[in-house]
Chains A and B, each alone.
Chain A
Amino acid sequence: MPRRAAKIWGSELAQENSYREGPDDKGRFGLYGGRFVAETLMPLILDLEAAYEAAKQDDGFAAQLQDLQTHYVGRPSPLYFAERLTEHYGGAKIYLKRDELNHTGSHKINNCLGQILLAKRMGKTRIIAETGAGQHGVAVATVAARFGLPCTVFMGATDIERQKPNVFRMKLLGADIRPVTSGAGTLKDAMNEALRDWVTHVEDTFYIIGTVAGPHPYPAMVRDFQSIIGRETKQQMQEREGRLPDTLIACIGGGSNAMGLFHPFLDDREVTIIGVEAGGFGLDTPDHAASLAGGAPGILHGNRTYLLQDDDGQIIEGHSISAGLDYPGIGPEHAYLRDTGRVNYVSATDAEALEAFQLITRLEGIIPALEPSHALAHVGKIAGDLPPEHLLVMNMCGRGDKDVFAVADHLNVTL
């Protein structure tokens, strides 16, 4: 692998019994992943896989991506020592990986830049995407504007209602927003609709999937583009503290920000890794989006993974206060990491996330998105019991501007 490309994607040899070897040549992470798509799409995802493999070997691609990450996105994002939050809990030393400071306000741009560069390389002239909270949709609309490609974003009608600011941002950026009314009108339905569009426009269209799910090579590709979060964290922690962090915490819907943070650390066995699913009204109710805690293995959207489903194998809509987490599935690599026990998956409820949202806003002057507020809620559950030398990193993967109206609603405040 050429030098610059090696630097971007990491070329260190995987150690024996590595957790970082997946996927295999069938796109599997153990039992999970794969390519469960209609025949019409099969040639497209094989093309995509070949194009991505070629791009990975290309120093020019890596250089272009790196340049945009630095000058367009504003990377590296800071690793911030949250002093007052640390004081508040009186335990572990809490660091925030500030991916909410990225251009467009979340980690989603990391992946979108990689994919749109790939789309250009493949000669595609039209971009489609699905979005839940709208953060991915905004990031896609942004890179589509930057590269001058027309862009259509599928978004559930319910989500359009609760994420109005992001809908308007996408429109300003020139994206065509297609409301999806089938099902519950949320992320899963938007993804179905995007896949239908892709089947219909196979020649010219590139589908930018926003999370580490979908048919191979998407889970691996999105992970690779997001793993800059973890690589930077590793280096920054080395500079700040001279060692590895002790605990990593990130929220999980599909799981892209979490996989981005976790992946470079998977073989550092001394690092405890925790993923926080959306507990909605609680895991003892039907209204949550914790696919690992409350789901079973199944097949949806091109991959095998844990899914919320009923006794007949019908998919159940997830519920979360956060539109970015209410996906009934989860990236297949997370399913694998759960089964192997490498990552510990827990959940936080709507109420806990809402409380954490307010707490960090007051203590640190950082308004988080509702998604990472779930991760923060879990930080609150464990930080106080950990010693002061314990280094804890939480991925602040998005900012809360988009959620201000929804939060006001939940707090019974009329704006």
Chain B
Amino acid sequence: MSRIDDLFADLQSRNRKAFIAFITAGDPDVQMSAEILAGLPAAGADIIELGMPFTDPMADGPAIQAASQRALAAGQTLQGTLNMVADFRAENDTTPIVLMGYYNPIYHYGVDKFIAEAKQVGVDGLIIVDLPAEEDGELCLPAMQAGLNFIRLATPTTDDKRLPHVLNNTSGFVYYVSITGITGAAAPQQQAVADNIARIKQQTQLPVCVGFGIRTPEQAAALAASSDGVVVGSALVDVIAETAENRADTVKQVLALASALAEGVNKK
């Protein structure tokens, strides 16, 4: 049982849904990013999705791309991101951390080295956007062997024929992408999402969480009703962009929005 499995078992027993908060590691700088990370569990984040910045985030919208650029400009590296997780784990041994990003920085770092160090610092799962099931041999299989969850994205274009292929070798939870598009784009259609999640649940016992395009506590509440959890990223990251003029407020405001979203997720 991984931290992620334990978390969902616990949430289910209490009839609650997961709030998954995304931030980009090192955004706007190492110090503030670490403060936000440390504050997220108390703000109600059940799982933290920590973005590994990349220059060319093809599946992300302007908000998360800008976050990557801020982090890289402030000197964030993959090694720095792993260090952040290590520091977080020194204080928190329960909140699952999922690293999200693109394959190239990991490939360049060295797949085996990355997996070993990620496991050692207390990373629980990986979401690697540009590694579909067809490329499982690259990172997914060795990561799972090392005890890391490999969380796959299922999308509106993943039809019933393809779905088993996508669910195979997926662990922790399934991340349902609510729209055909990039992060932070159009708001998802609630009914379509509910139908698709029901379709996925016919083929897996894993929890199914939904993300992309969710910005407000109200949307979070609506989508939590048909899923096991809700991911919010761009809206949180936008707060970091919006408070650029007055960084004294950044941490407080990001955590305030996280609290409101967490409350939305479990609003009956």
Can you identify 15 A-B contacts, CB atoms within 8 angstroms?
Answer: A34-B135, A37-B130, A38-B58, A39-B132, A39-B133, A40-B153, A42-B134, A199-B181, A200-B182, A203-B180, A299-B104, A300-B56, A313-B104, A313-B108, A315-B104
Chain A nearest Cβ from B189, distance in angstroms: 14
SS of B interface (majority) = loop
Give the complex CA separation of A260 and B3 in angstroms.
52
Partner-binding segment picked from A58-66, A232-240, A301-309, A319-327: A301-309
Q: B121 near A: Cβ within 8 Å?
A: no
Taking each of B58, B103, B166, which has the highest tally of chain A beta carbons within 10 Å of its own beta carbon?
B58
Give the complex CA separation of A199 and B153 in angstroms.
14
A192: B residues at CB distance < 8 A = 56-58
Q: A43 near B: Cβ within 8 Å?
A: yes
Give the complex CA separation of A339 and B187 in angstroms.
46
Task: Mark B residues whose CB is within 8 Å of A.
Answer: 53-59, 61-62, 65, 72, 77-79, 102-109, 129-135, 152-159, 162, 166, 177, 180-182, 185
Given that A43-B157, A188-B56, A199-B59 are contacting pairs, would A35 and B134 also be in contact in the complex, using a CB cutoff of 8 Å?
A: yes
Chain A nearest Cβ from B62, distance in angstroms: 8
Q: A183 near B: Cβ within 8 Å?
A: yes
Q: A410 near B: Cβ within 8 Å?
A: no
Asked whether, in the complex, the Cβ of B55 is within 8 Å of the Cβ of A38, the reply is: no
Taking each of B77, B109, B130, B177, which has the highest tally of chain A beta carbons within 10 Å of its own beta carbon?
B130
Q: A3 near B: Cβ within 8 Å?
A: no
A314: B residues at CB distance < 8 A = 53-55, 72, 105
Q: B108, B131, B153: which contacts A36 (Cβ < 8 A)?
A: B131
Chain A nearest Cβ from B102, distance in angstroms: 8
SS of A interface (majority) = mixed
Asked whether, in the complex, the Cβ of B152 is within 8 Å of the Cβ of A313, the reply is: no
Question: Closest chain B residue to A183 by CB distance?
Answer: B55
A37: B residues at CB distance < 8 A = 130, 132
Asked whether, in the complex, the Cβ of A312 is within 8 Å of the Cβ of B108, the reply is: yes
Q: A243 near B: Cβ within 8 Å?
A: no
Chain A nearest Cβ from B52, distance in angstroms: 10
Q: A36, A199, A201, A313: which contacts B109 (Cβ < 8 A)?
A: A313
B58: A residues at CB distance < 8 A = 38, 192, 195-196, 301
Q: B129, B132, B166: which contacts A35 (Cβ < 8 A)?
A: B132
B130: A residues at CB distance < 8 A = 36-38, 299, 302
Given that A188-B56, A315-B55 are contacting pairs, would A296 and B134 also be in contact in the complex, using a CB cutoff of 8 Å?
A: no
Give the complex CA separation of A314 and B105 in angstroms.
6
Asked whether, in the complex, the Cβ of A196 is within 8 Å of the Cβ of B182, the reply is: yes
Question: Closest chain B residue to A309 by CB distance?
Answer: B108
Chain B nearest Cβ from A44, distance in angstroms: 7
A201: B residues at CB distance < 8 A = 180
Chain A nearest Cβ from B110, distance in angstroms: 10
For the A-B complex with A43-B162, A196-B61 known, give 17 more contacts whose Cβ atoms are closer than 8 Å.
A36-B130, A36-B135, A39-B152, A39-B177, A42-B132, A42-B158, A42-B162, A43-B157, A43-B158, A182-B62, A182-B65, A199-B59, A296-B108, A298-B104, A299-B103, A300-B104, A313-B108
Q: A26 near B: Cβ within 8 Å?
A: yes
B106: A residues at CB distance < 8 A = 313
B153: A residues at CB distance < 8 A = 38-40
A304: B residues at CB distance < 8 A = 107
Chain B nearest Cβ from A297, distance in angstroms: 8
Question: Closest chain B residue to A312 by CB distance?
Answer: B77
A51: B residues at CB distance < 8 A = none
Question: Closest chain B residue to A216 by CB distance?
Answer: B134
Give the complex CA separation of A309 and B104 in angstroms.
9
Taking each of A39, A300, A304, which has the highest tally of chain B beta carbons within 10 Å of its own beta carbon?
A39
Asked whether, in the complex, the Cβ of A44 is within 8 Å of the Cβ of B55, the reply is: no
Give the complex CA separation of A42 and B129 in angstroms.
11
Within 173-189 of A, Cβ neighbours of B (below 8 Å) are at 182-183, 188
- 8 smallest CB-CB distances across A and B, nearest first, come from A313-B108, A313-B105, A200-B181, A40-B155, A38-B59, A312-B77, A36-B130, A315-B55
Q: A202 near B: Cβ within 8 Å?
A: yes
A315: B residues at CB distance < 8 A = 55-56, 104
Question: Closest chain B residue to A315 by CB distance?
Answer: B55
Q: B72, B107, B154: which contacts A299 (Cβ < 8 A)?
A: B107
Give the complex CA separation of A309 and B78 in angstroms.
14
Asked whether, in the complex, the Cβ of A313 is within 8 Å of the Cβ of B107, the reply is: yes
Chain B nearest Cβ from A185, distance in angstroms: 13
Given that A182-B65, A312-B78 are contacting pairs, would A38 and B132 also be in contact in the complex, using a CB cutoff of 8 Å?
A: yes
Within 42-69 of A, Cβ neighbours of B (below 8 Å) are at 42-44
Give the complex CA separation of A118 and B182 in angstroms.
26
Chain A nearest Cβ from B179, distance in angstroms: 8
